[in-house]
Each structure stands twice: as structure tokens, then as C-alpha cells.
């Protein structure tokens, strides 16, 4: 069994080395978004909870629960709020464009 573990570790290290040399076929890369402080994102925009909710199409009760910490963010909400935090005006403009 020890040989199996060693072989797995060795294979993993070989994959890492290959990946760093440009071979993207031997590894799977997973990106993890950091936690988002919803209140900080909203305050950065200078908007009230009601304004933020209306502009970014987030139910007010959901926003309040996120800010209180009584409801956690799923991955897509975390990504959306990260985008708003990084580009609030651009996201707002995109949402206001007519289809």
C-alpha cells in the first residue's frame, strides 16, 4: 500500500511539473472565489440597501440576510457580488441596457 501512495504522489508531482512547463492536459485547475463581505461591496457603491437591491436585481430580503450573515452566498451569488465590487458602474450599465 505504501508503494501505491508513493506512486500517486509521484504522479501528482510529475503532473505539476508538466503543468508549470506548459502542458495543460495533465492537470485540473480549480479557482475558488474568496468570501465576499456583502455590506462592504454595497457601501463601496455608495448605495442604500434599497437602491442596491433595485439596481442589481437582488431581493431586498436576500440582501439583508446576506449582510446579517443569516444566509450564505452560493457560488454564483459570490461571483456576481465580486463582479459588482470590482466594476459596479459597468455591471449597473450592463443591467440597464435594453435587450
* pLDDT, tens digit, 9 for 90 and up, residues 33-66: 788 999 999 999 999 999 999 999 999 999 999 9
Cα distance between residue 19 and residue 13, in whole Å: 10
Assess contact for 91 and 83: CB atoms under 8 A.
yes
Phi, psi of 68 (to 5 degrees): -75, -20
pTM of the predicted structure, to 2 decimals: 0.66
Is the confidence at residue 99, as pLDDT, over 70? no
Q: What are the structural domain ranges in the chain?
A: 1-29, 38-96
The pLDDT score that the predictor gives to residue 68 is: 96
Nearest Cα neighbor of 12 from 67, 32, 20, 39 is 20
Cα distance between residue 94 and residue 88, in whole Å: 10
The pLDDT score that the predictor gives to residue 30 is: 75
What is the topology classification, in CATH, of domain 38-96?
Answer: 434 Repressor (Amino-terminal Domain) (1.10.260)
Amino acid at each position: 500500500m505504501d508503494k501505491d501512495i508513493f506512486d500517486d504522489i509521484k504522479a501528482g508531482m510529475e503532473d505539476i511539473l508538466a503543468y508549470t512547463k506548459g502542458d495543460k492536459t495533465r492537470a485540473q485547475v480549480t479557482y475558488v472565489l474568496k468570501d465576499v463581505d456583502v455590506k462592504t461591496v454595497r457601501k463601496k457603491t455608495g448605495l442604500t440597501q434599497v437602491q442596491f437591491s433595485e439596481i442589481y436585481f437582488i431581493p431586498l430580503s436576500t440582501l439583508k440576510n446576506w449582510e446579517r450573515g443569516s444566509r450564505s452566498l452560493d457560488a454564483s451569488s459570490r461571483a456576481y457580488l465580486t463582479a459588482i465590487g470590482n466594476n459596479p458602474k459597468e455591471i449597473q450599465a450592463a443591467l440597464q441596457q435594453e435587450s
